[in-house]
Homo-oligomer: A and B are copies of this chain.
Amino acid sequence: MLYLMIMKDYIQIFEDFLKKEINYNAPANLYEPVKYILDSGGKRLRPLIVLYVSDLFTSNTSNATPAAAALEIFHNFTLAHDDIMDNSSMRRGKKTINSKWDNNTGILSGDVMLIISYEILNKYDDSKYVLLSKKLTETSRLVCEGQQNDMDFSLVKEVLEEDYFNMIENKTAVLIGCCYMFGGIVSDLNTKDINILYEVGKNLGIAFQLEDDLLDSFGDEAKFGKKIGGDIIEQKKTLLFIFTQAKLNGNQRVEFENIFFSDEIQEAVKINSIKTYYESSGAVDYLKNKVQEYSINAEKLINQMQIDTNKKLELIKFSEKLLNREI
């Protein structure tokens, strides 16, 4: 459709807005790290969703740029703080804030990014401001809870599948839900459709995270952009691990856990061995089916919206591309 720009145009619009908007200069030690992380790119998936949805429904993106920026800046706040908590030194091929500066700088510049994400919403009229900022608050709290759940998982040997889904819903999916919803809010969609968009995004967010887990172990390194097997080396209790562990009994389970939790086995050997378990347990197929399930949920939800059929089709196509990493 003609009014739909190609993705790199959305990103350009977003980058221009961000550059103009984030023009704080003093104190330099506070704002330099903010500019640094916001300038370090990434896929810009979240603003892209907001801009796309707005463009689809209103053939306009300028109403959507502040909402898009709020969520991208919020996302970068979580990265700045997560990188401290995970003691990460690299992100997007560049040093993390805590590594380039120090933890204190990461804390305070993260804090101010959370605040700026609210501030940017000031650009809307009162009724939109109320909707957007309240949803940002709700989402933010869930994201914190998800991050805590994720950290808690590292302290135990076993995680329930239900708890895992709850964790990824909070840590990742609600923010994707928020992106779809913000696109709907700035487009003046009705409340029912706005709420459906949130659920659409949440379902896609879960599917996206499960795919991410799959790609982390079975993806193509060049395409995935990260070293394959990272989750295994970090002993992350993803659904691949949880499903496999629950399937195994007796000695088999002990053996699997011994390999997974060992710090002595050579990395490549460990990755291959655990991947074999993930495949033979049926975990890989299970995840693929789950991805399919959540993706179909999203499609069903889109079909419930009170919008033109062609817009439904466009939205489904966009969401599929998102999942297939074609965006």
**Could you list which residues of chain A lie within 8 angstroms of chain B, going by C-beta atoms?**
26-27, 29-30, 81, 84-85, 103-104, 107-108, 110-112, 114-116, 118-119, 122, 126-127, 129-130, 133-134, 137-138, 140-141, 144-145, 147-149, 151-152
Contacts and interface: CB of A to CB of B under 8 A. Distances in A.
A137 B112 contact: no
A81 B127 CA distance: 33
A-B pairs with lowest CB-CB distance, top 9: A30-B148, A27-B148, A112-B144, A85-B104, A115-B140, A118-B137, A115-B141, A126-B130, A119-B137
23 contacts: A26-B145, A27-B145, A27-B148, A27-B152, A29-B151, A30-B145, A81-B111, A84-B107, A85-B107, A85-B108, A103-B103, A104-B151, A108-B148, A112-B141, A112-B145, A115-B144, A116-B141, A119-B138, A119-B141, A122-B137, A126-B130, A129-B134, A133-B133
Which of A110, A134, A148 has the largest count of B CB atoms less than 10 A from its CB? A148
A97 to B, nearest CB: 13
Contacts of A30: 144-145, 148
A118 B144 contact: no
A120 to B, nearest CB: 10
Majority SS at the chain A contact face: helix
A151 B29 CA distance: 9
Given A148-B27, A149-B27, A104 B84 contact: yes
A166 to B, nearest CB: 10
A129 B121 CA distance: 13
A108 B148 CA distance: 8
Given A119-B141, A129-B130, 4 more contacts: A30-B144, A84-B104, A122-B137, A130-B130
